[in-house]
Structures are given as structure tokens and as C-alpha cells.
């Protein structure tokens, strides 16, 4: 029985209907049942005897035990969930609630049309695609929890994963928390809304996100400037062509915004100081809205250094696998992919061969669980 209806506010400020597959009452009953069962097992006795600080914290939270815990809500997380659930690993997935300012579903909930994901020749809205992914995960038995993981403990086994109200003991963990958009060092306006109708706007960036944002904003603004610090875009050719052929878009090449200032006597954006990187000349650009698409940073702060990260904060994985520096913990998707960051490659990190259904993260987790002898166990 589906619990009707709950709404999300996406970055476009549109209300999106979303179904919750379990009511809070049902989730509570199931959780309490798991807690009672868990504390009746020998493993629970061992855990209870531990004197670690994280165990003391668990005493005050709902304690659940799973063989596999997935952290994330994008294509990588749900691809892993589908394959793990079909392998009868009965995973729990924490999709977060506005984690890093993004709705459950990840970065795809902030985009409009997704045109490069296989199976949708006419394209599909980002939030609709992720809603389908979520429904598929639930269909095969994934326990989806709309809470944000704020802390983990990978120093002992089973691993411990914490939210504000729950503590999960997991034999294996897949980290698929993705990457979030970087913000500029001065105050800017994020998101699009009709309040910018018939006003000049600016977008900073040179990738697909910048092209998409600029084209979208032409529906509202009188003119849209794309400010890019190089003399060519890194966006795909099709996205470049759409932006460059739009009569309402003007590109400021070799330029960067160095200051944003307010409109006199009003608490609104009045314009930008834009510096030409070649001539070093600084000029005024009158705009009423500023939007950024300047790259991403991995959502790894909650790990608190417990996994090896590279210099940019991405999770380091063993080449050709999803294995991290901690045995039994795996990473998939944008959180460990700083080169491609595409929905299909996020799923592909999880799938070594998409059409044969070989899911790397789920398979790696399944093989690990077989090694430690818990493959035939039950969720206690």
C-alpha cells in the first residue's frame, strides 16, 4: 500500500509530486521489530559490550542491521540498489533529505531534459528519471530511507552509519553520494524564477550545465550573458550549438566576474565587475540575476577522512574496481569520478557491462560478503 503523497521543492522552485512507499508508522514498526530481533542475536551482544564512543551513541538511536548499506540517491546509488536487491542482499539506502542543498535524486533533480540516458529517445525530465530509478529500487526490496547520513565509523566491523535518528550496522557499505555544484566566493542568486522576467541575466561556466542553464533562462530574461574564462567551451558540441545559436545569449570570452554589487537603495543584484583575462580591463555588466555552473566538488565531508581521498576530495578506488582504502567499503558514481560526471557513467561505474547486468559496486559488495561468510545470513 502506497502512502499518498508528499512534495519536494526542487531548485526550479516547482512542486514535484512524489510517492512515499512506506508510511512513517510502518517504518517505525518495522524498525522496532528489527531492533528487538537485532538485540536478541549474539552479534548484538558483542556490539553492546563494545566500549567505543559510536556504540554509546547507538544506544540512543534506532539501531538497524543490514548486510549492505548504500549512501546516495543518484543513478549510481539506485543502480547498485537494484542489482544488490535482485541478488537478495536486501540493502538499505539512505537517499538524504536536501543533503548538500539537493533534493533526493541528486544532481539530476536540478536539470530539465536528460537526453543522453539510454532508453529515452525523446528525452526525460531529470526528476522523473530519478523517480523511476527510486521506484525500481523499492520494487525489488530496497529499504529507502529519506534521511541524511551525517557520520560513519569504518574503524570497526560491522561498519556503523549514522543519521540524526538512526544507526545502521552494515557488513558492507557503498558510498555513492555524488558531487555538488561549487559556489562562488561572493553572494550570488541560485536557481531560476519568473522574478527575472525581461531582465538581463548572467551565467558563469563553460560546461553542459552552463549551456543548459543559459538556454533555460532565455525563457525569462531579456538577455543572457555567458561569462567564461577561456576562449572555448568544454561543453558537448550539441549543447554549445544550442547556446551559440540562441539570439538572446551573448558570450563574454576570456572573462571572469570579480565582483557583484547591489542596485542602489535596493537589496538586489545591480551588476557585475567583469575582468577580461587577456587585456585585464575591468568593465561593468548590468544584470539582475547571476547563476553559476563552475564545476563540482565531491560530497565526502561526512566521511571525516576515514577513506583515502585524492587532492580534490574524491574517493580513491583501486583501478578497475569500486574498492576503497577500507576493505568492505565501495564507492561508485560522481563521488569517485571527477572526469566524466554523467548519469550514464555513474550507472556505468556501477555496471561494468550494462547490458549483461554486471553491477560493479553491487558485485564487489556481494563477493566481499561471500568472503566474510554472511552471504547466506539474514537481516537481523
Q: What is the DSSP secondary-structure string of 62-88?
A: EEEEEEEEEE--SHHHHHHHHHHHHTT
The per-residue pLDDT for 300 is: 92
Locate 172 and state its grid cell. 558492507
CB atoms within 10 A of CB 240: 18
End-to-end, the C-alpha distance of the chain in Å comes to 24
- The reported pLDDT for the residue numbered 56 is 53
pLDDT score of 141: 95
Q: How far apart are CA 362 and CA 81, in angstroms?
A: 7
CA distances to 73, 154, 179, 325 from 175, rounded to whole Å, are 10, 12, 12, 12
Contacts of 34 (CB under 8 A, 6+ apart): 64, 65, 379, 380
C-alpha dihedral sign at 204, 206, 211, 213: negative
pLDDT tens per residue across all 380 residues of the chain = 333 323 333 333 333 333 334 443 443 344 434 433 433 333 333 333 334 555 555 555 667 899 999 999 888 899 999 999 998 999 999 998 877 666 677 667 666 677 777 788 888 887 888 899 999 999 999 999 999 999 999 999 999 999 999 999 999 999 999 887 765 544 444 443 446 789 999 999 998 888 988 998 898 899 999 999 999 998 889 999 999 999 999 999 999 999 888 877 666 788 999 999 999 999 999 998 888 877 778 889 999 999 999 988 999 999 888 999 999 999 998 898 766 544 433 443 444 333 333 368 888 888 889 888 854 454 44
Q: DSSP state, 160? A: E
pTM of the full structure:
0.62
Measure the CA–CA gap between 188 and 268, rounded to whole angstroms: 10
Residue 270 pLDDT:
87
Separation CA 72–CA 69 (nearest Å): 10
Position 292 scores a pLDDT of 81
Q: Residue 140: its pLDDT value, please? A: 94
3-state secondary structure of 200: strand
Amino acid at each position: 500500500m502506497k502512502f499518498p503523497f508528499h512534495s519536494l521543492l526542487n531548485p526550479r522552485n516547482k512542486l514535484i509530486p512524489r510517492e512515499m512507499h512506506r508510511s512513517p508508522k510502518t517504518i517505525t514498526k518495522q524498525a522496532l521489530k528489527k531492533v528487538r530481533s537485532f538485540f536478541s542475536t549474539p552479534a548484538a551482544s558483542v556490539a553492546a559490550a563494545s566500549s567505543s564512543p559510536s556504540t554509546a551513541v547507538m544506544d540512543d538511536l534506532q539501531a538497524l542491521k543490514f548486510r549492505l548499506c548504500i549512501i546516495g540517491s543518484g543513478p549510481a546509488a539506485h543502480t547498485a540498489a537494484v542489482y544488490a536487491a535482485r541478488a537478495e542482499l536486501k540493502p538499505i539506502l539512505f537517499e538524504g533529505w536536501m543533503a548538500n542543498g539537493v533534493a533526493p535524486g541528486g544532481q539530476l533533480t536540478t536539470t530539465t531534459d536528460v537526453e543522453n540516458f539510454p532508453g529515452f529517445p525523446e528525452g526525460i525530465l531529470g526528476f522523473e528519471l530519478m523517480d523511476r530509478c527510486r521506484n525500481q529500487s523499492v520494487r525489488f526490496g530496497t529499504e529507502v530511507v529519506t534521511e541524511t547520513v551525517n557520520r560513519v565509523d569504518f574503524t570497526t566491523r560491522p561498519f556503523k552509519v549514522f543519521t540524526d535518528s538512526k544507526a545502521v550496522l552494515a557488513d558492507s557499505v557503498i558510498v555513492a553520494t555524488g558531487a555538488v555544484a561549487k559556489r562562488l566566493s561572493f553572494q550570488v542568486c541560485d536557481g531560476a524564477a519568473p522574478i527575472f522576467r525581461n531582465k538581463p541575466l548572467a551565467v558563469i561556466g563553460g560546461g553542459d550545465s552552463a549551456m543548459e542553464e543559459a538556454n533555460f533562462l532565455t525563457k525569462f530574461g531579456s538577455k543572457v550573458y555567458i561569462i567564461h574564462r577561456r576562449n572555448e567551451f568544454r561543453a558537448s558540441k550539441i549543447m554549445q550549438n544550442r547556446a551559440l545559436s540562441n539570439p538572446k545569449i551573448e558570450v563574454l570570452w576570456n572573462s571572469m566576474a570579480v565582483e557583484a554589487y547591489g542596485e542602489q537603495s535596493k537589496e538586489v543584484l545591480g551588476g557585475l565587475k567583469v575582468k577580461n583575462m587577456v587585456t585585464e580591463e575591468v568593465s561593468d555588466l548590468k544584470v539582475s540575476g547571476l547563476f553559476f555552473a563552475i564545476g563540482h566538488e565531491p560530497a565526502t565531508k561526512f566521511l571525516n577522512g576515514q577513506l583515502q581521498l585524492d587532492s580534490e576530495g574524491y574517493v580513491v578506488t583501486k583501478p578497475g574496481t569500486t574498492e576503497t582504502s577500507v576493505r568492505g567499503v565501495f564507492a561508485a558514481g560522481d563521488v569517485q569520478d571527477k572526469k566524466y560526471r554523467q548519469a550514464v557513467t555513474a550507472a556505468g561505474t556501477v555496471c561494468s557491462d550494462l547490458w549483461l547486468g554486471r553491477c560493479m559496486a553491487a558485485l564487489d559488495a556481494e563477493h566481499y560478503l561471500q568472503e566474510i561468510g554472511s552471504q547466506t545470513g539474514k537481516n537481523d
